[in-house]
Amino acid sequence: MATAQLQSVSATAPVTGSPRDVRTAVLAALFAKQVGLLMRDYPYDSVMAARVLGQGYAYLLTAMAHRGERLGLVPSRLFDIGVHAIILDTVAYAELCRKYNAGHFLHHVPKVEMKNDGSVMRTAHLIAADGWELDLPLWEDAADCGPCHHGNDSH
């Protein structure tokens, strides 16, 4: 997806004021730990790891805020790595689900085939509309992504 098209996400999203930062929803020590895990497992410096993790949290918190709506939200391939870092830290992830998803576990239901149906960019619009900061360069691979179960509340 071209950067110009991505920039329209922030321009068209009905957000007023400063975007919300996921670090207000996550304990600093947990965020730092998960940044460290990303740096351990991927060739990221702390800045890139924090960006990927931040978009992962914005995605999951948006999905949780829209539980039951069956929107088929989908992350980009790049920050899906951050989503996986979050959900693999199962004790912390269970607490996130308890706090932000009314105790309901947000399941991970991957599919093998990738889809190119616009669901990733619809997700970007919803994240922005919900007021979360959108790191647009991390959405550039959006057209080739979306292997998650469509129309479900899962990731």
For 5-14, 114-123, 143-152, which range has the lowest pLDDT when averaged over its residues? 5-14
The answer to whether 136 touches 8, Cβ cutoff 8 Å, is no
What is the spatial distance between Cα 87 and Cα 41, in angstroms, rounded to a whole number? 15
Q: Which residues contact 5 (CB under 8 A, 6 or more apart)?
A: 121
DSSP class of residue 19 equals: P
Q: In this predicted model, what pLDDT tens digit does every residue of 63-89 receive, in sequence order?
A: 999 998 988 888 888 889 999 999 999
Q: Is the pTM of this model over 0.85?
A: no
DSSP class of residue 62 equals: H
